[in-house]
Structure 1
């Protein structure tokens, strides 16, 4: 039976977050990513079979800016490493990395989750997130993005699959990110959509969960068809 954890992430002064629930499947892909012959194409193929396109693999550094994606829902799968802390729902309020990571330089109301190998997270568009304190420790982010030489997303599936096939998995904390086909992610920080949160909340619900497909145990059953974006809220 699939273990499912969900979190309600309400809007803050600086972050839109979402009426949809944040979904976490602990260790759902552990057997796949623990295999001796594991290659990222295993996860690429799984996501693709459910209408989600893998777009990057990241080896995480010690911290990053809290951010969100305004035009796409995101799936992140932990494919390597011993773990990291993921903070959801709040904006950083200072540029000082130590303060916004280990101090008090972020909004109140954060939800922190310890990510482990094989975990899968599904983030609704607008949900703030940052990854820090990876295990084993790594100084800086190393980002592998599936793009052409001109900076556009690789659309040819065979070429994209070959891109992921060539990425080495060497034990650092790494996640693989995917989005519904036709969606591309952007990088937004606190305050970018002030007064315009509904624009983010209107991103259409995907037809399938990236891992569980049409099962009601996943996104299809957990997310309502369309969030209420017509309330009188000024957010």
Structure 2
């Protein structure tokens, strides 16, 4: 049975976060045979989610969130720490990763190959301490907001994984992801909070163990307000 961890992240001064919990399916795909990108794509596609990218992550990145779309992130290789729920307070991502230039609060989660995260719209995330060390790179064709290939499954099968890599997928028909940083939506956090829940969980489908049971209707999150 999959281990599911839930994290309720209240809004900060700069980040909407969400009334829905961040879900971490720890070790869901821990067996290497389950981490073939093309097979993962088949599962996502069958549950109404679109594979849009595979990125290899560098040492760190800017904290950001997707303001109008939910995201599923699948760790394909490597390990890293992912910080959720707070904004950077310095444009230098190194200072925010290791120098304390960030908002108070949030949660840091050790991510390993086989983990899956289902991230509600509005929840900030930032990857750092990625191993093995490698340069940041998009590994799939296109610009990361969809895979422009005649056969997406074939394109994914051709990806060679190295370093810390994650696949990003999003509910079908909801467009592509944006890259919002702290402060973008102050005064309009409700737009992220009210993004509709997808019909199915990206991996658990109709099971109440996934978002079908864990995400309720839209509601104003508790905690700090903008």
Does structure 1 residue 2 correspond to structure 2 residue 5? no
Query: Is residue 112 from structure 1 mapped to residue 108 from structure 2 by the alignment?
Result: yes
Structure 1: distance between partners of 2:138 and 2:66 = 17
Q: How many corresponding residue pairs?
A: 224
Q: Give the whole-Å Cα distance in 1 for the aligned partners of 2:118 and 2:218.
A: 16
TM-score by length of structure 2 reads 0.92
Equivalence for 2:129: 133
C-alpha separation between the residues in 2 aligned to 1:55 and 1:108? 31
CA-based RMSD of the aligned residues comes to 2.2
Shift of 1:143: 1.4
**Residues 1:87 and 2:87 aligned together:** no
For structure 2, the 5+ residue unaligned runs are none
Aligned match of 1:176: 167
- Partners of 2:114 and 2:36 in 1: how far apart? 13
Q: Contact (CA 8 Å) 1:89, 1:129: kept in 2 or not?
A: yes
**Residues of 2 paired with 1:5 and 1:55: CA distance?**
25
After TM superposition, which residue ranges in structure 1, 4 or more long, deviate above 2 angstroms? Answer: 144-148, 151-156, 158-163
Alpha-carbon distance between aligned partners in 1 of 2:146 and 2:59, rounded to the nearest angstrom: 27
Deviation readout 1:108-167 (Å, 9 max, x if unpaired) = 0020000011000000000000111111122x311135538xx974477x5322221221
Q: For 2:117, which of 99, 121, 130 is the aligned residue?
A: 121
Question: 2:16, 2:189 within 8 Å by CA — same for their partners in 1?
Answer: yes
CA distance in structure 2 between the partners assigned to 1:98 and 1:43 by the alignment: 32
Give the superposition deviation at 1:13.
Answer: 0.2
State whether residues 58 and 141 of structure 1, in contact with CA within 8 Å, keep that contact through their aligned partners in structure 2: yes
CA distance in 2, matches of 1:201, 1:175: 25
Gaps of 5+ in 1: none
CA spacing shift, 1:102–1:44, aligned 2, 3 Å = same
Please give the alpha-carbon distance, in whole angstroms, between the structure 1 residues aligned to 2:73 and 2:145: 21
